[in-house]
């Protein structure tokens, strides 16, 4: 349960999420940091029941295994398509701290993005740590990004939530192919304890600072090795020149999230570099709120806002957009 002093400067947590938090505390549920990666994966799969089912009718779903990565990795993709010509193709990376998550993790959102936003969505099941640590997940998403560019015509975009947002930003910063837009949902952009929200939201529900350290320790153990980490690991390290080359970007921030401030800092840096960036802030929601749409009306409303913004981004003029910085 969150330390109330730690969260004193925040808006109250959404009551439906607070009820989940209190029930978990009453049940004596073990914290993530006490679990093995296998146990954490089981918990995340069990949590799928808290996600509302996305549209089924009108959405075609195809699973593919791709032989893409030079070291023998075979990332799978799930392609979501609705009737008619898509406005763009979105290559999407699910969350889960690089340690958990699979193609079902973001299935609901991907269905809504295909059905309501008119996108073709290529959801990528990248390899997970600790069996496949950094940079394997980045390389897997980059390989899927290459594949999508070779496979589909029209605008292509990148997106992801949490750890998937980290991967999407990293691949966009590599600059191998132009992206139509970038969709980052409560993304990991820096390293643990680098921004104030690691303290002010350190014990937030459902994920706090200790959980993020646990994920990083499995994904990139000894991550700096005495060197400044690059943007493949910490996109917040990007130079103004690199940030200025990014496409129109939409960031979604949760108030009860240790990652809140690094997302805000990334948005500010993008704007300062002359980029086009919009920010949607949800002060009453916690990190990973898209995993709770079956129980939280506020999470469902936020999901609908994500889908609506993705639809707008997909139809923006592609040639020389005017830089803007706005908060939705």
The per-residue pLDDT for range 83-102, each reduced to its tens digit, is 999 999 999 999 999 999 99
Residue 21 CA to residue 172 CA, distance in Å, equals: 35
Q: Which residues lie closer than 8 Å to 138 by C-beta, 6 or more apart?
A: 167, 170, 171, 232
- What the block records as the tokens of 89 is 């193709």
**Residue 151 and residue 172 in contact, taking contact as beta carbons nearer than 8 Å:** no
Judged against a pLDDT cut of 70, whether residue 142 lies above it is answered with: yes
Judged against a pLDDT cut of 90, whether residue 317 lies above it is answered with: no
**Residue 281 and residue 327 in contact, taking contact as beta carbons nearer than 8 Å:** yes
Domain-by-domain residue ranges, the chain? 15-327
Please report, in angstroms and rounded to a whole number, the separation of the first and last CA atoms in the chain.
30
Per-residue pLDDT, averaged over 91-120, amounts to 98
**What does residue 43 show for φ and ψ, rounded to 5 degrees?**
-65, -40
**Bridge-partner residues for 93, per DSSP?**
124, 160
> 185 to each of 79, 157, 164, 254, 316, how far by Cα in Å?
20, 14, 9, 9, 19
- Say if residue 135 is preceded by a cis peptide, omega within 30 of 0: yes
Per-residue pLDDT, averaged over 174-184, amounts to 97
Known catalytic residues? 162, 257, 287
> According to the CATH classification, is domain 15-327 in 3.40.50.2030?
no
- 325-327 β-sheet, strand order: 59-65, 76-82, 120-125, 89-93, 156-161, 181-185, 248-256, 277-286, 325-327
Judged against a pLDDT cut of 90, whether residue 1 lies above it is answered with: no
Taking the whole predicted model, whether its pTM rises above 0.75 is answered as yes
The model's confidence at residue 73, banded by pLDDT at 50, 70 and 90, is low
Share the mean pLDDT of the chain: 91
Position 316 scores a pLDDT of 78
Residue 231 CA to residue 26 CA, distance in Å, equals: 40
């Amino acid at each position: 349960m969150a330390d109330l002093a730690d969260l004193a400067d925040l808006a109250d947590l959404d009551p439906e999420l607070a009820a989940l938090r209190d029930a978990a505390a009453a049940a004596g549920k073990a914290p993530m940091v006490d679990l093995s990666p296998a146990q954490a994966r089981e918990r995340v799969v069990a949590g799928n029941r808290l996600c509302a089912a996305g549209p089924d009718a009108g959405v075609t779903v195809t699973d593919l295994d791709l032989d893409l990565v030079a070291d023998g990795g075979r990332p799978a993709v799930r392609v979501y398509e609705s009737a008619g010509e898509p406005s763009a193709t979105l290559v999407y990376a699910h969350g889960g701290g690089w340690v958990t998550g699979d193609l079902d993790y973001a299935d609901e959102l991907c269905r809504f993005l295909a059905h309501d936003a008119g996108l073709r969505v290529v959801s990528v099941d990248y390899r997970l740590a600790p069996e496949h640590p950094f940079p394997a997940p980045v390389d897997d998403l980059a390989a899927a990004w290459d594949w999508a560019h070779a496979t589909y015509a029209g605008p292509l975009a990148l997106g992801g939530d949490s750890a998937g947002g980290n991967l999407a930003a990293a691949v966009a910063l590599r600059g191998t192919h132009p992206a139509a837009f970038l969709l980052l949902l409560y993304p990991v952009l820096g390293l643990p304890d680098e921004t104030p929200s690691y303290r002010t939201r350190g014990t937030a529900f459902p994920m706090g600072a200790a959980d993020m350290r646990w994920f990083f320790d499995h994904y990139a153990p000894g991550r700096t090795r005495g060197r400044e980490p690059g943007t493949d690991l910490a996109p917040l390290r990007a130079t103004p020149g690199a940030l200025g080359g990014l496409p129109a970007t939409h960031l979604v921030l949760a108030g009860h999230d240790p990652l809140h401030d690094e997302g805000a800092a990334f948005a500010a840096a993008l704007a300062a570099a002359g980029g086009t960036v919009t920010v949607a802030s949800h002060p009453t929601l916690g990190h990973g709120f898209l995993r709770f749409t079956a129980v939280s009306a506020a999470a469902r409303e936020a999901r609908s806002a994500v889908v609506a913004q993705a639809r707008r981004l997909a139809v923006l003029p592609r040639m020389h957009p005017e830089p803007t910085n706005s908060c939705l």
